[in-house]
DNA sequence: CTTGGCTGCTTCC
DNA sequence: TGGAAGCAG
């Protein structure tokens, strides 16, 4: 599972995939800003502790970059360029830099990302690849059935390489709907005929990918507070390249057609993997500077000048082809840490060596414990790396050994053994303590992970380990003790919080679905059944409730109902209700939220009454749940959007709240820098991205993946612990849980009886419900085909009659043709609705937040406005 | 003590 | 497979 090497997709899929690279903007700085809200908006850099010249800068935020501060500078240099820069020192634990804060934050982000795809590959602490091909496929299909529509607000802060703005790009796609063959001549010249279907779909698929990217980034922002940039393309290399082209807080599509012109001017070193020695070799041996120049060489040329593998790789890369698969990987393959001991810091004594091995081992051990909790795996190998000074020469070595125990003492002991046995003369002659060869560098890493026996419950282990950790640390550094404890606590707290956030969210969705059933039953609107899903989807955005008032691309009874619910609470909300949560008066939010909960309860009653046939069990559960939810709600866990606008209230002062307050404060104060800093509107979260299973224990909707289920089980287990179950009972529960897990991986409970039920429940999720309904809607949408004579001019291709426009279309192009009609249909509906979209918000009366200025200027610049409006909202 | 440093990975051979 | 090198941030 973890030792999967590089995987590739077939050449035939080179344009089929949609790959996202999400890259956190100056991540370490953001982490510091979140932790110290008063820093927000101010120039800031993170320095690695180092007394010399103010420390080495490892991250610079954009306010500081504007002043010319860069990485590789010393703190003092940064101060010269930017006198008011804030320099955050990365915390020092065990006399070395401790980056766990950033790792935790990175994981927090990755947890959000993971909801969007199974194919998530974490590339580093702050970067991840997402293969979203499947979701894009689904949406393309749904676009055709009308259960999905592109939303302009999802393209905020979105760029497309080679286009002035995203509107132009959309415009191009729109035009192609009308004339599918407009680009064919160029295509035929530039692409293999076999690739044409994929090439024709490319832009639309990337655009949909961009929408998903927008959702992903919005989710990350909403749930973690962090901003990121993203690249959208057909493969990893291109996605990575694209992501770097517009930053921060922006996303960039790299369209197929723009690759050649881009590469013509693109320095070879900009491609991932070519920034170093290899890239230089390429440039030198080919005598080139730009990637596009590689095209002059045949694959054989390249293989000759480089090597077989690199030659082929480069040959493809120069054509924008990268077949490397997004390999699911959440955790790194190895865990390690190291430290340099330059000059006089050389380790010359045995005791010193032991000390540092102990420190490194301690860090490894801590991280292994955490890793074990989260990933249930154990390292089976240890590697110790070291650089010795041998006769004035630096000699690097690394030695490894199998590992059974990973406690600090074992690690340190084995590391020392390894060094000892691999050094000719370890101790200086006649000495018990002096090393013969001074050590200039030490590193320990562990890897070769194997899944631990699942009999060991993660939570239980965690408690045990945390107790052990406290003991250890109190021995070592009394000063550090409270810090570490607090850190651990925060992590757990954060875990729970995010869990509750999901839990809440999921249940709202559940309620919304119930609500939907009631509404639809009474309304008896058959025509709307097809769109049930998208409605659910939209409602999933209840968490970001305000967005719901922003735009609703489809009109329906349900939509109207939802609107009524909202309007009831938003009497005072005027027409300038764009996606700017910070503008909304707090009192509205509070009252709204209260009402919302109230509504939920009422709907639940409705459900109970109308669903006499259904098991009362569920509704009872729901009822209990509601009470629980109320409790959770009242004790602070408001979704962020609602809290954001609150003025500093008298609330429990958790770290999260602090952060949110700070966000609110930030909104009030606009510095020079932030005024030019583009915010993005928050698209609604779309539940159709995730399939859920229902937890029989609590009724919650759990994302249908192993990790989420485990987390959820842990939650229940934790509750049991809180009720002070005895240790034996714990073990029993564990065993039965294990059994349940083995019999049905999807079953979230310990009750084997319910395993099937759970599966059924998952089958009832939106994703599957849609399977049946769209069929109806399609057949409805397409009137019976009439066997008319195809026009003679096209007699050599298989033609079909389009029921909508009564014209003949090539069979192969029918899907796209239907897209066209669907787009038109949506436009009509939208117009009836007179949606208040972001675009229409130009006629702003109230002062818009600086955040949206950029958006408006982008989307409204004449051509953009025109095209997007055309595509999404114009009357046909 | 350094000052184009340091660290943490992955991949190559 | 171990160990070294390379890459990236």
pLDDT (tens digit per residue) in A468-492: 444 333 323 322 222 222 222 223 3
Q: Please choose, from the candidates A872, A858, A739, the residue with its C-alpha nearest in 3D space to the C-alpha of residue A167.
A: A858
Class of the CATH domain delimited by A27-95: alpha beta
Question: Does the C-beta of A277 come within 7 A of strand C?
Answer: yes
A15 vs A24: CA distance, rounded Å: 26
Beta bridge partners of A435: A427
Which amino acid residue lies closest to nucleotide C3, measuring CA to C1'? A398
A458 vs A455: CA distance, rounded Å: 9
Which amino acid residue lies closest to nucleotide B10, measuring CA to C1'? A333
Q: Which of A115-119, A709-713, A750-754, A776-780 has the highest mean pLDDT?
A: A115-119
Question: Does the C-beta of A397 come within 7 A of strand C?
Answer: yes
In Å, what is the separation between the CA of A583 and the C1' of B2?
52
Q: Which nucleotide is nearest to A310 (CA to C1')?
A: B12
Say whether A679 sits in a helix, a strand or coil.
coil
Q: Which nucleotide is nearest to A384 (CA to C1')?
A: C3
In Å, what is the separation between the CA of A772 and the C1' of C8?
48
Residue A526, pLDDT score: 29
**Is A680 within 8 Å of A218 (Cβ atoms)?**
yes
Question: Does the C-beta of A267 come within 7 A of strand C?
Answer: no
Label residue A216 by pLDDT band (50, 70, 90): very high
**pLDDT exceeds cutoff 70 at A219:** yes
Question: Does the C-beta of A276 come within 7 A of strand C?
Answer: yes
**pLDDT exceeds cutoff 90 at A210:** yes
Which amino acid residue lies closest to nucleotide B4, measuring CA to C1'? A72
Question: Does the C-beta of A421 come within 7 A of strand C?
Answer: no
Catalytic residues of A: 127
Which amino acid residue lies closest to nucleotide B3, measuring CA to C1'? A52
In chain A, what are the domain boundaries?
Answer: 11-19+103-264, 27-95, 266-320, 335-457, 490-689, 772-873
Query: Model confidence over A396-431: pLDDT tens digits?
Result: 889 999 888 888 899 999 999 899 888 888 998 998
Question: Does the C-beta of A557 come within 7 A of strand C?
Answer: no
Q: Which nucleotide is nearest to A278 (CA to C1')?
A: C6
In Å, what is the separation between the CA of A241 and the C1' of C8?
14
Q: Please choose, from the candidates A554, A561, A485, the residue with its C-alpha nearest in 3D space to the C-alpha of residue A517.
A: A561
Beta bridge partners of A290: A267
| Residue A568 burial (C-beta neighbours within 10 Å; 0-12, 13-18, 19+) | exposed
Which amino acid residue lies closest to nucleotide C9, measuring CA to C1'? A58
Q: Which nucleotide is nearest to A48 (CA to C1')?
A: B6
A253 vs A241: CA distance, rounded Å: 10
In Å, what is the separation between the CA of A334 and the C1' of B10?
10
Query: Model confidence over A655-702: pLDDT tens digits?
Result: 333 333 333 333 322 233 322 233 333 334 444 444 444 444 444 444
- Helices A586-610 and A616-634 pack at an angle, to 10 degrees, of 170
Q: Please choose, from the candidates A97, A92, A39, A43, the residue with its C-alpha nearest in 3D space to the C-alpha of residue A66.
A: A43
- Helices A557-569 and A532-540 pack at an angle, to 10 degrees, of 20
Q: What is the mean pLDDT of chain A?
A: 63
Question: Does the C-beta of A344 come within 7 A of strand B?
Answer: yes
The one-character DSSP state at A788 is P
More confident residue, A242 or A448: A242
Question: Does the C-beta of A277 come within 7 A of strand B?
Answer: no
Residue A374, pLDDT score: 79
Q: Which nucleotide is nearest to A72 (CA to C1')?
A: B5
A16 vs A574: CA distance, rounded Å: 44
Residue A259, pLDDT score: 95
In Å, what is the separation between the CA of A307 and the C1' of B13?
14
Q: Which nucleotide is nearest to A26 (CA to C1')?
A: C9
Superfamily of domain A266-320: 5' to 3' exonuclease, C-terminal subdomain (1.10.150.20)
> Which positions in strand B are less than 7 Å from the protein's CB atoms?
1-3, 5-13
In Å, what is the separation between the CA of A379 and the C1' of B13?
24
**pLDDT exceeds cutoff 60 at A511:** no
In Å, what is the separation between the CA of A487 and the C1' of B6?
25
Alpha helices in A115-147 (DSSP H): 133-145
* CATH level 3 topology of A11-19+103-264: Alpha-Beta Plaits (3.30.70)
Question: Does the C-beta of A352 come within 7 A of strand C?
Answer: no
Query: Model confidence over A32-56: pLDDT tens digits?
Result: 999 999 998 899 999 887 667 778 8
In Å, what is the separation between the CA of A179 and the C1' of C5?
53
A211 vs A205: CA distance, rounded Å: 10
For the domain bounded by A335-457, which CATH number is listed? 3.30.1490.100
- Token readout for A516 is 């939907």
Question: Does the C-beta of A325 come within 7 A of strand B?
Answer: no
Say whether A798 sits in a helix, a strand or coil.
coil
| Residue A142 burial (C-beta neighbours within 10 Å; 0-12, 13-18, 19+) | buried
Rounded percentage of chain A residues whose pLDDT exceeds 70: 51
Residue A260, pLDDT score: 95
Query: Model confidence over A332-389: pLDDT tens digits?
Result: 888 888 888 888 888 999 999 999 999 899 888 888 888 888 778 888 899 999 999 8
Say whether A635 sits in a helix, a strand or coil.
coil
- Helices A727-743 and A706-722 pack at an angle, to 10 degrees, of 160
Residues (116-145, chain A) with CB within 7 Å of strand C atoms: 124, 126-127
In Å, what is the separation between the CA of A340 and the C1' of B7?
9
Q: Which nucleotide is nearest to A398 (CA to C1')?
A: C3
Question: Which H or E run contains A37?
Answer: none
Tally the C-alpha atoms within 13 A of residue A370's C-alpha that lie toward its C-beta: 20
Residues (764-793, chain A) with CB within 7 Å of strand C atoms: none
In Å, what is the separation between the CA of A429 and the C1' of B1?
26
Question: Does the C-beta of A381 come within 7 A of strand C?
Answer: yes
Question: Does the C-beta of A515 come within 7 A of strand B?
Answer: no
Mean pLDDT for A316-325 is 94
Question: Does the C-beta of A58 come within 7 A of strand B?
Answer: yes
**Is A341 within 8 Å of A360 (Cβ atoms)?**
no
**pLDDT exceeds cutoff 50 at A565:** no
Question: Does the C-beta of A713 come within 7 A of strand B?
Answer: no
Query: Model confidence over A601-626: pLDDT tens digits?
Result: 444 444 344 433 333 333 333 333 23
Question: Does the C-beta of A715 come within 7 A of strand B?
Answer: no
What is the torsional sign of CA A587, A593, A594, A599? positive
The residues near A800 (Cβ < 8 Å, ≥ 6 apart) are: A785, A808, A809, A810, A811, A814
Lateral strand order in the sheet of A19-24: A120-124, A127-131, A19-24, A228-233, A251-253, A158-160
Lowest average pLDDT, out of A107-116, A144-153, A166-175, A766-775, goes to A766-775
Q: Please choose, from the candidates A782, A827, A829, the residue with its C-alpha nearest in 3D space to the C-alpha of residue A809.
A: A782
Question: Does the C-beta of A400 come within 7 A of strand C?
Answer: yes
**pLDDT exceeds cutoff 50 at A527:** no
In Å, what is the separation between the CA of A415 and the C1' of B9?
20
Query: Model confidence over A422-451: pLDDT tens digits?
Result: 888 899 899 888 999 899 999 999 988 888
Label residue A157 by pLDDT band (50, 70, 90): very high
Question: Does the C-beta of A362 come within 7 A of strand B?
Answer: no
Residue A291, pLDDT score: 95
The residues near A88 (Cβ < 8 Å, ≥ 6 apart) are: A28, A29, A32, A36, A39, A44, A45, A46, A47
In Å, what is the separation between the CA of A234 and the C1' of B12?
27
Mean pLDDT for A760-770 is 29
**Is A801 within 8 Å of A811 (Cβ atoms)?**
no
Question: Does the C-beta of A337 come within 7 A of strand B?
Answer: yes
A155 vs A683: CA distance, rounded Å: 9
* Residues A701-737 as b or e (16 or more Cβ within 10 Å = b): bbbbbeebbbbbbbbbbbeeeeeeeeeeebeebbeeb
Question: Does the C-beta of A396 come within 7 A of strand C?
Answer: yes
**pLDDT exceeds cutoff 90 at A726:** no
> Which positions in strand C are less than 7 Å from the protein's CB atoms?
1-9
Q: Which nucleotide is nearest to A123 (CA to C1')?
A: B9
Residue A454, pLDDT score: 55
Compute φ and ψ for A193, nearest 5 degrees. Answer: -55, -35
In Å, what is the separation between the CA of A834 and the C1' of C5?
62
A866 vs A331: CA distance, rounded Å: 45
Q: Which of A28-37, A623-632, A808-817 has the highest mean pLDDT?
A: A28-37
- Token readout for A722 is 């809180």
């Amino acid at each position: 599972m973890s030792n999967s090497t590089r995987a590739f997709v077939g050449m035939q899929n080179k344009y089929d995939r949609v790959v996202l690279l999400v890259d956190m903007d100056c991540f370490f700085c953001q982490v510091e800003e979140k932790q110290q809200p008063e820093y927000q908006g101010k120039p800031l850099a993170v320095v690695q502790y180092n007394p010399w010249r103010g420390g080495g800068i490892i991250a610079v935020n954009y306010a500081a970059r504007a002043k010319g501060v860069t990485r590789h500078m010393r703190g003092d240099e940064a101060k010269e360029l930017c006198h008011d820069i804030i320099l955050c020192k990365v915390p020092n634990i065990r006399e070395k830099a401790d980056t766990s804060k950033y790792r935790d934050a990175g994981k927090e982000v990755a947890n959000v990302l993971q909801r969007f795809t199974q194919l998530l590959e974490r590339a580093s602490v702050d970067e991840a690849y997402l293969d979203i091909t499947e979701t894009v496929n689904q949406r393309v299909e749904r676009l055709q059935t009308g259960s999905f529509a592109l939303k302009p607000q999802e393209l905020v802060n979105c760029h497309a390489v080679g286009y002035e703005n995203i509107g132009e790009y959309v415009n191009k796609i729109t035009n192609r709907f009308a004339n599918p063959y407009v680009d064919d001549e160029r295509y035929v010249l530039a692409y293999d005929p076999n690739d044409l279907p994929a090439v024709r779909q490319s832009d639309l698929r990337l655009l949909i990918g961009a929408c998903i990217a927008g959702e992903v980034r919005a989710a990350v922002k909403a749930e973690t507070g962090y901003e990121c940039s993203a690249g959208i393309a057909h493969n990893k290399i291109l996605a990575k390249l694209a992501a770097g082209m517009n930053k921060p807080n922006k996303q960039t599509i790299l369209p197929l057609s723009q690759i050649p012109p881009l590469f013509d001017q693109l320095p070879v070193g900009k491609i991932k993997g070519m920034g170093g020695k290899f890239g230089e070799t390429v440039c030198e041996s080919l005598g080139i500077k730009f990637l596009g120049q590689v095209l002059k060489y045949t694959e054989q040329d390249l293989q000759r000048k480089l090597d077989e593998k690199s030659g082929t790789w480069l040959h493809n890369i120069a054509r924008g082809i990268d077949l490397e698969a997004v390999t699911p990987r959440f955790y790194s393959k190895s865990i390690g840490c190291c430290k340099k001991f330059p000059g006089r810091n050389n380790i010359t004594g045995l005791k010193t060596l032991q000390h540092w091995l102990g420190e490194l081992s301690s860090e490894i051990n801590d991280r292994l414990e955490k890793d074990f909790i989260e990933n249930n795996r154990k390292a089976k190998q240890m590697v110790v790396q070291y650089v010795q000074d041998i006769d004035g020469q630096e000699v690097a070595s690394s030695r490894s050994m199998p590992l059974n125990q990973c406690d600090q003492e074992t690690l340190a002991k084995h590391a020392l053994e390894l060094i000892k046995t691999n050094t000719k003369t370890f101790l200086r002659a006649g000495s018990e303590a002096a090393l013969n060869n001074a050590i200039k560098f030490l590193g320990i890493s562990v890897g070769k992970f194997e899944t631990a026996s699942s009999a060991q419950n993660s939570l239980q282990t965690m408690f045990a380990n945390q107790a052990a950790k406290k003991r250890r640390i109190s021995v070592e550094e009394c000063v550090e003790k409270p810090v570490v404890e607090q850190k651990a606590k925060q992590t757990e707290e954060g875990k729970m919080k995010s869990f509750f956030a999901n839990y809440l969210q999921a249940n709202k969705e559940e309620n919304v679905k119930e609500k939907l059933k009631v509404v639809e039953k009474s309304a008896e609107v058959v025509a709307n059944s097809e769109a049930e899903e998208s409605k659910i989807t939209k409602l999933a955005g209840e968490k970001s409730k305000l967005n719901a008032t922003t735009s609703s691309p489809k009109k329906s009874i349900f939509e109207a109902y939802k609107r009524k619910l909202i309007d009831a609470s938003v009497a005072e909300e005027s027409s300038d209700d764009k996606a700017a949560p910070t503008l909304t008066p707090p009192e509205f939010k509070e009252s709204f939220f209260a009402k919302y909960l109230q509504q939920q309860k009422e709907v639940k009653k409705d459900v109970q009454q109308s669903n006499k046939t259904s098991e009362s069990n569920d509704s009872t559960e729901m009822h209990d749940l509601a009470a629980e939810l109320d409790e959770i709600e009242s004790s602070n866990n408001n979704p962020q959007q609602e809290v954001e606008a609150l003025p500093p209230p008298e609330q429990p002062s958790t770290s999260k709240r602090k952060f949110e307050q700070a966000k609110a404060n930030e909104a009030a104060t606009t510095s020079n820098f932030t005024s030019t800093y583009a915010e993005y509107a928050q698209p609604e979260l779309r539940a159709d991205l995730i399939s859920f299973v229902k937890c029989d224990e609590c009724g919650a909707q759990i994302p249908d993946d192993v990790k989420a289920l485990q987390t959820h089980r842990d939650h229940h287990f934790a509750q049991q612990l809180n009720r002070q179950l005895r240790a034996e009972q714990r073990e029993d529960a564990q065993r039965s849980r294990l059994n349940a897990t083995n019999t049905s991986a999807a079953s979230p409970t310990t009750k084997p009886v319910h395993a099937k039920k759970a599966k059924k429940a998952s089958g009832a999720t939106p994703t599957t419900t849609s399977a049946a309904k769209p069929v109806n809607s399609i057949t409805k949408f397409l009137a019976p085909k009439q066997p008319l004579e195809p026009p003679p001019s096209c007699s050599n291709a298989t033609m079909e009659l389009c029921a909508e426009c009564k014209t003949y279309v090539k069979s192969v192009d029918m899907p796209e043709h239907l897209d066209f009609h669907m787009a038109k249909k949506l436009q009509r509906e939208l117009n009836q609705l007179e949606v208040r979209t972001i675009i229409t918000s130009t006629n702003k009366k109230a002062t818009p937040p600086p955040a949206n200025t950029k958006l408006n200027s982008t989307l409204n610049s004449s051509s953009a406005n025109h095209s997007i409006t055309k595509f999404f909202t114009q009357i046909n």
